[in-house]
Amino acid sequence: MILIILLLCFLVFLFHQYFWRRRGLPPGPTPIPVFGNLFQLSGSEAPGISIFQKWKDQYGPMFTFYMGPVPFIVLTDYRDIKETVIKDGETYADKYLSPEFNIYFRGGEYGIMDISGDRWREHRKFAVLQLRELGVGKPLMESKILIEAEEMIRKLKTAEVIGEEFFLQTEIDVAVGSVINQFLFGYRFDESKLHEFVKIKTLVNNFMEEVGKPLGVLAFTCHGIPPFIVKMMVSGIEEQKRELFGFLRAQIQDAKVRINYEEEHNDDFVEAYLRKKYQREQNNDFESYCDSQLENVCFDIWAAGFDTLANTLGFLFAYAINYPEMQVQKLIHQEIDEYLGHHRRLLTMSDKNALVYFNAFANEPFLNFVALHQELFQHIRFKDNGFSAMTTSLPMTQFTGVEKILISPLYNATDYSMVEDLVELRRKLIHLSEIRTSDKFLTGLAEQKSKRNYNFSKRSKNQMQSLNVFGDRQRLVFQETQRLANILPMNLPHALTKDVELKGYHLKKGTGVIHQIANVMTDETIFKDSYRFNPSRFIDEFGKLKKIEELCPFSMGKRQCLGEGLARMEIFLLAANLFNYFEVIHDRSLFA
């Protein structure tokens, strides 16, 4: 009898979740009990982009799909997204994430990325203020980024002299990590601190991999799961959680020992936070600013700011070396040479507006990193496992597939085991075997079975048409990279703060809404031939950079990336200066 009652209760639950509840929602694919549409999502060639495009074509620009038992409304039309996050931003400002997961992982509703309400508003405002106060958009931060650019150039030239191998992607990672760490803790990762960088990068990546697995997705998004079950669902992050927050606590404790609360000047974010916390405590406010919140904000800044930016920079070079027939580097070098003349020097932010082609190049891959050769490139082969909803270790924010796809944008990934073998080599994509005296350094893909992939890449590249652009070019290249290598193919879900009418549907408070930016940036009505790498789309008939409103790789509205200004500075100062001094080409000896 008890079993019959339990079965009836379960059937009533299924009826409510998957039939009665769906009546008032936009149309969408039929979910299966418990798992929803996760299997369809995991079976798509490109998570987020291709399956959402299929559903958009079938159900319209607004549809419903289920992650587990939870329905989410997906908006894929730019006008609808703008109408919601810009004109009615407060209604769509909350995050739809599991409070039980936050209790387990964060110790409560802490941080910036995964919380809502007054604490989120206050601490986002504080973080934006500190980015400005600590130099973003100013010479202070520019000088710190240029130190990293100079260090990479120095290492390259040293490698030329001694004949040493040089892994450019690794150095890009260190440079990006150093900038973040200087902002947070006041020091960069020099030789004596490299072990710290390797540790925190590994911990963050491992955490993202675990929560990107199917059970992790459910634990991350489903409300009402008891904390002890959440812990079992994501048990793989226990060690990462302990070590990662142990590292952050140690840095914060060091800052507490050094700080003089009587001074007003802040050297880094943690100092600024501790002073703010001290001021609040003098007024008997011990809740707003606390150690747990500081630890989680530091985690959010590291997790959100590192891999996205490092991989975007990697794509700049990946596109440049994989399509020599498009003469991207020739046009970049020509533009820099014409601008600087015979006086070679480091490029600064004051030079950015003059370098049109480079900026447009970087915009294109930001739109969609899996766009090139969609039919030939078997994206599904890059999935972590057969049931994963992601193509990489990184979860709902989906910096997906970048590290693995970065092995080559034209990789013939028909052998999944081959891709697994090469995952450990992903950071060695841009690999120095030799630096010629003409300041060229050779780069290449790496190791096993690479001859087959080179032949595939060569066949695919022969289909590409040459790019023929004249006039100012640099900013053009920058924009096209941002468009075509979009690091966020599926956006994090928001939650409604109140009941709302949207396109004829009554949506209740708390409903999850996904603003699918990736599909906007591959919309054929906006970006013609969107699956073709083409920086010229961002240049007008006068040779000037064309502003396209729908290009929004940092999202928009109240949840827009708070580090956008810093990211844009790093992309320009690091990449433009490497192109300023070097040419990046394939090391063909790897295929001999």
Q: So where are the chain's domains?
A: 2-96, 121-162+169-304, 307-486+551-591
- What angle (nearest 5°) sits at the alpha carbon of residue 392, between those of residues 390 and 396? 50
Tokens of residue 128, six digits: 């934006």
Tokens of residue 566, six digits: 């810093």
pLDDT, one tens digit per residue, over 393-417 is: 222 222 222 222 222 222 233 333 3
pLDDT string in tens for the chain (592-residue length): 788 887 787 777 766 666 666 678 999 998 888 788 887 876 655 556 788 999 999 999 999 999 888 899 999 999 999 999 999 999 999 999 888 889 888 999 999 998 999 999 999 999 999 999 998 988 999 999 999 999 999 998 888 777 777 778 889 999 999 999 999 999 999 999 999 999 988 888 888 778 777 778 778 888 888 888 888 888 888 888 899 999 999 999 999 999 999 898 999 999 999 999 999 999 888 888 999 999 999 999 998 888 888 888 887 887 787 767 778 888 999 999 999 988 889 999 999 999 999 988 888 766 544 433 333 333 333 333 333 333 332 222 222 222 222 222 222 333 333 333 333 333 333 333 333 223 333 333 233 333 333 333 333 333 322 222 223 444 444 566 566 555 566 788 999 999 999 999 999 999 999 999 888 988 999 998 887 778 888 888 888 988 899 988 888 999 999 999 999 999 999 999 999 998 877 665 444 4
Type of residue found at 413: A
Tokens of residue 75, six digits: 């908006």
User: What is the C-alpha to C-alpha distance for residues 38 and 66, in angstroms, rounded to an integer?
Assistant: 7
DSSP 348: -
Q: What is the pLDDT of residue 442?
A: 31
Q: What is the pLDDT of residue 448?
A: 32
CB burial class (10 A; 0-12, 13-18, 19+) of residue 228?
exposed
Q: How far is CA 435 from CA 162, 439, 477, in A?
A: 10, 6, 25
User: What is the C-alpha to C-alpha distance for residues 150 and 114, in angstroms, rounded to an integer?
Assistant: 36
Tokens of residue 542, six digits: 């006068």
User: What is the C-alpha to C-alpha distance for residues 468 and 466, in angstroms, rounded to an integer?
Assistant: 6
Tokens of residue 263, six digits: 């001074």
Nearest to 137 by CA among 567, 574, 566: 566
Q: How far is CA 27 from CA 22, 68, 72, 519, 541, in A?
A: 8, 17, 11, 18, 42
- In three-state secondary structure terms, 397 is coil
Dihedral sign of CA atoms 521, 306, 167, 353 in order: positive
- Provide the whole-model pTM: 0.78
Annotated binding site: 561
Antiparallel, parallel or unpaired: β 440-443 and 494-495: unpaired
User: What is the C-alpha to C-alpha distance for residues 488 and 490, in angstroms, rounded to an integer?
Assistant: 6
* Residue length of the chain: 592
Tokens of residue 131, six digits: 């980015």
CATH topology of domain 121-162+169-304: Cytochrome p450 (1.10.630)
Nearest to 570 by CA among 152, 206, 202: 152
> Is residue 426 within 8 Å of 403, Cβ to Cβ?
yes
Antiparallel, parallel or unpaired: β 494-495 and 512-515: antiparallel
Annotated binding site for heme: 561
